[in-house]
Chains A and B, each alone.
Chain A
């Protein structure tokens, strides 16, 4: 458990590594070959623009000064010079093509997702990211961990205010990782500047991108497509580990997932479910239904003292598992596993004075999910 906690609270452990010594005025060089290439393209084009600007404004100001009215009271009167027109049409054409050639070469590399050594499915949800290591039986959601009190201004901001999560995405360095991007509800965008990856995640579509990270470290990003109320509260944190550390981490997660799967079959005590449920509730539910279950009317109903919830377990579990279409309540059947679902149901049925005394067992939920 302590290892798990250490991992959960991972942010800050590795400290500020190679990430950006950037001034903040420019885009970061980043930590992949592609991001460095994009940076140098950006700088090349920037300097081309500077030269063009200097020449154009230089000629303009020179002409203004040299042919000012006090020196040349008689205006010249000429019309049309085909040679000059040809030059000022051809020159930009050449400059544009000259910029397009290296840009296209880089673009081709960015889209080449072949020969990946690891596939990660990234799913945007309102308002969190879900990561699935395809073929590895490892999947989890990553929620912002900045305390609500900081957001409400009741506590001073932490160092990584709004850029910290409970479970970061963990990736190996020096391996080609392919991302498959999609979304469950609306369009989100997965953006990590240090990887030069900003990819829309669209419901019903799968977009691809890839990284090969050169430096271990912690890299942060945000959702870059306005996606609703908590758009600003679904940050991305990536821990890039040395290859052997990553393999050990992945094995540990696999064991954990297997252990969790076993947990479905045994009977859970009320206290156990309550403790786990509080964790899940805080990470998933509290952003809408609030920490004390008081909700936020009119959109988010209160759970504390909610009579239908207290009286009707079947309706309650169906609501959480399948969502309610036409409302902001999403389906959690694929986001949470049976243990988490059972725990959060038990928690909401017993917390804040909803003292039903019900324990919802993971096995029950697994059965309901299979139906």
Chain B
């Protein structure tokens, strides 16, 4: 699980180690990455909204 989160965060950042990428493709299940990815996207949107609200106050 922790590995999946780390890989999703790396994808959001846009940089990933080649070794990790290979391992994800060999061992991981696509469904996990998709679910965690959707969750991370929701968190990102929430963070942007939070910053906007704080700044606009």
Contact = CB atoms under 8 A, between A and B. Distances in A.
B53 interface: no
Contacts of A80: 18
B20 to A, nearest CB: 9
Interface in B20-57: 55-56
A82 B15 contact: yes
A218 B18 CA distance: 64
A85 interface: yes
A21 interface: no
A82 B19 CA distance: 11
Interface string A69-98: 000000000011010011001000000000
Contacts of B13: 86, 89
Interface in A77-125: 79-80, 82, 85-86, 89, 104, 108
B28 to A, nearest CB: 19
Interface residues of B, number: 8
A86 B15 contact: yes
B15 A89 contact: yes
Contacts of A82: 15-17
B18 A89 contact: no
A89 B16 CA distance: 12
Contacts of B56: 108
Contacts of A89: 13-15
A104 B15 CA distance: 29
Give the dominant DSSP class at A's interface. helix
A104 B57 CA distance: 12
Interface residues of A, number: 8
A80 B20 CA distance: 13
Nearest to B15: A85
Interface string A216-257: 000000000000000000000000000000000000000000
Contacts of A108: 55-56
Contacts of A86: 13, 15
Nearest to A80: B18
Nearest to B14: A89
A86 B15 CA distance: 7
Contact of B55 (A79, A85, A104): A104
B47 to A, nearest CB: 13
Interface in A187-209: none
B14 to A, nearest CB: 6
Contacts of B16: 82
Contacts of A79: 18
Nearest to B17: A82
A79 B19 CA distance: 13
A79 B17 CA distance: 11
Interface string A47-88: 000000000000000000000000000000001101001100
A59 B34 CA distance: 39
A82 to B, nearest CB: 5
Contacts of B18: 79-80
A86 B14 CA distance: 9
A177 B55 CA distance: 25
Given A80-B18, A82-B17, A108-B55, 11 more contacts: A79-B18, A82-B15, A82-B16, A85-B15, A86-B13, A86-B15, A89-B13, A89-B14, A89-B15, A104-B55, A108-B56
Interface of B: 13-18, 55-56
Interface of A: 79-80, 82, 85-86, 89, 104, 108
14 contacts: A79-B18, A80-B18, A82-B15, A82-B16, A82-B17, A85-B15, A86-B13, A86-B15, A89-B13, A89-B14, A89-B15, A104-B55, A108-B55, A108-B56
Closest 10 CB pairs of A and B: A85-B15, A82-B17, A86-B15, A80-B18, A89-B15, A89-B14, A104-B55, A89-B13, A82-B15, A108-B55
